[in-house]
Amino acid sequence: MQQQEASSRPQSSAYLNKLSLEIEKKLQRALASPSQRRNLLQELFADIALEVDDRAKDIILSRDEDAITPAEYGANGRLCFYDVLADYYIRSPDSGKPILDLIVQLWSQSFASHIFSLLFHKWLFEVQLDNAEVQLRYSSALVQGATNVFWMDIQSNTRCFQSLFLAQRDLYLLLSRFIFFYNSVEKIESFLKQCPVFPNSFLIGGPADILVIELADQLQKLKVEPVLLHYLSQVKILRGMELRMATSTRLKTCLYSFTSPGGPMYPTRAVRHAAWDALDFLFPVGRYPRHLISLFFRLLYPWYWPSSCWNFIVSCIKAVFYSLLRVIHSRWGKLREPKTA
């Protein structure tokens, strides 16, 4: 029995790798043959949309940790080849890179976006792309391809691509991370109403909790100061939002981590002040004890005293200077007022 399980482990990976090589070959043929390009891409699209037959299921649904399990079946128990390959390219991104490179060269061709959306819709939500232009191109291709295949389901009255539709959960999580960056916070209310149903919602909470959890995780990953300052200014829109205690504590802890110098976040002074403003605005209860505790811990690190004292003196001088300017401006305005008899 143990020998049978051991032999099934490489069998599944080898089978999926073989499928990837066949896809790569057909894409290369399409790239080399302009006259047959549309037909070849259409054939490839039809192939990956097929339901996995029983013989292939026995190979794919092995007990290997890296293999597909029955719980990962597509929608309504239907398992298609694109379901299997989409999961495979998350676990083995190197296997999907040659295919992705070929699809990019065929962007403008019919069925290219269809194939991309089926094979890489999960990969796109997992990968971290540094190039914003590439991210936008992939996202546009995903939307275009998904729209096309959904219309195919409607026109044929089938549910072949329902599992791709369920990827809206991943899309919601992705948008939750970036809605604050793209100045769309005024749309949060309607955004929350469109939140899909999550199977673990009874554990993590409702749409607002999911949004804040993703936001807190995103804040911990931000390293660019202007972007972090922008996020901290935008999060004030969350005031008054009903959250679970665990979610509220998570956000509070996240913001508090940016209020102190040093590790693990090493925030700049501007970030620390922005974090304090956001924290005090969102959680006014306990504001003064938090500041006292923070001051106490700052006193434990003497090497921060000179910079803190200097910044305090500069702040006081600025405050006095601006106060004098306001007084002068006010009196100057009164002197210029015409006297009435």
pLDDT digits (tens, 9 = 90+) for 29-67: 999 999 999 999 999 999 999 998 888 888 877 544 444
Q: What is the pLDDT of residue 2?
A: 39
Q: Where are the domains of the chain?
A: 8-168, 169-290
Cβ neighbourhood burial of 23 (10 Å; 0-12, 13-18, 19+) = buried
pLDDT of 293 higher than 80: no
102 within 8 A of 24, measured Cβ to Cβ: yes
Q: What is the pLDDT of residue 40?
A: 96
Q: 0.85 exceeded by the pTM?
A: no
Confidence of residue 71 (pLDDT cuts 50, 70, 90): very low
| Average pLDDT taken over every residue of the chain | 82
CA gyration radius for the chain? 28
pLDDT of 101 higher than 90: yes
51 has which bridge partners?
Answer: 80
Averaged pLDDT, 157-169: 80
Collect all residues with Cβ–Cβ distance below 8 Å to 172 and sequence separation of at least 6: 194, 195, 196, 210
Averaged pLDDT, 194-203: 71
At residue 167, φ and ψ (nearest 5 deg) are -70, -5
Rounded-to-integer distance, Cα 19 and Cα 120, Å? 15
Confidence of residue 118 (pLDDT cuts 50, 70, 90): very high
129 within 8 A of 135, measured Cβ to Cβ: yes
80 has which bridge partners?
Answer: 51
Which region among 70-79, 155-164, 246-255, 292-301 has the lowest average model confidence (pLDDT)?
70-79
Q: What is the pLDDT of residue 8?
A: 45
Rounded-to-integer distance, Cα 301 and Cα 296, Å? 10
Collect all residues with Cβ–Cβ distance below 8 Å to 97 and sequence separation of at least 6: none
Assigned token pair, 275:
């974090």
Rounded-to-integer distance, Cα 103 and Cα 121, Å? 14
Confidence of residue 337 (pLDDT cuts 50, 70, 90): low
Q: What is the pLDDT of residue 307?
A: 67
